[in-house]
Amino acid sequence: MRALIRRFDGFLRRGAGVFEFTDDEACLFRLQLAEARRDIRLSDGTVVRKGEPVFRLHVWNEHIPPMEPDGSDVAWGVRVARLTIRSMRATAQWLADHPELCDRRIIGSSTVLVDLDGRGGSAHLMQRLGFDIFPYRNGLGRFGEFWQNLYAWGLMWTFNEASARDKSPFRMRRTEVWMSTHALRMSYGRVPTTPARQCESAPGGVGR
């Protein structure tokens, strides 16, 4: 069953255009060039309208450190936090190396790994990293969200079984996490190149 899920996950990734932007085996992210599914307003003033191009982050499941059989502990959490910061820096560097994509002004995704109510500290970590957190909205409501959560649970069970032990697709709730690419570069990358600055100062850039 796990082998089937791995193959199916690879098939979906290829179909959706999800790609690996680095060969760093410690990177926790893949990327996808996508479109915003709704209007999004971030705390730094960035506004993106439905249909605008965005970057979507995807967890690189094979690179998530395995949990111990009895679940996560402080050491595991610290390790994942450090790898997440390393992955943010790698992402910022990749964006800096591809200024032709500077019209994509936000980066983020929907996830079951961040609790909007703050339980477990995941929301606090994401906010410290610079993300804004929003409730998730599925066009098919809870029915559509359930199937997404079932698939997410299957990936957890396949790649990191202990992480799925106390979770249920019926109880899991998704959130959205987004950050402006400007904030990503400022916090984790080098000084933006001239093309990126020009893109941000164009109509529809940061602050609109």
| Mean pLDDT, rounded, for 83-91 | 96
| Mean pLDDT, rounded, for 152-156 | 88
| Residue-level pLDDT at 161 | 82
With beta carbons less than 8 A apart as the criterion, state whether 202 and 156 touch.
no
In this structure, the number of other CB atoms found within 10 A of the CB of residue 39 comes to 11
Give the residue with greater pLDDT, 189 vs 71. Answer: 189
Single-letter amino acid code for the residue at 44: D
| Residue-level pLDDT at 118 | 55
Confidence category of residue 168, pLDDT binned at 50, 70, 90 = confident
Give the residue with greater pLDDT, 31 vs 139. Answer: 31
| Mean pLDDT, rounded, for 133-140 | 81
pTM of the model: 0.85
| Residue-level pLDDT at 208 | 33
DSSP SS3 for 21: coil
| Residue-level pLDDT at 207 | 35
Q: Ranked by mean pLDDT, which of 17-31, 64-78, 187-201 comes out on top?
A: 17-31
Reply yes or no on whether the pLDDT at 193 is more than 60. no
120 vs 140: CA distance, rounded Å: 28
Nearby residues of 157 by Cβ (< 8 Å), 6 or more positions away: 2, 5, 164
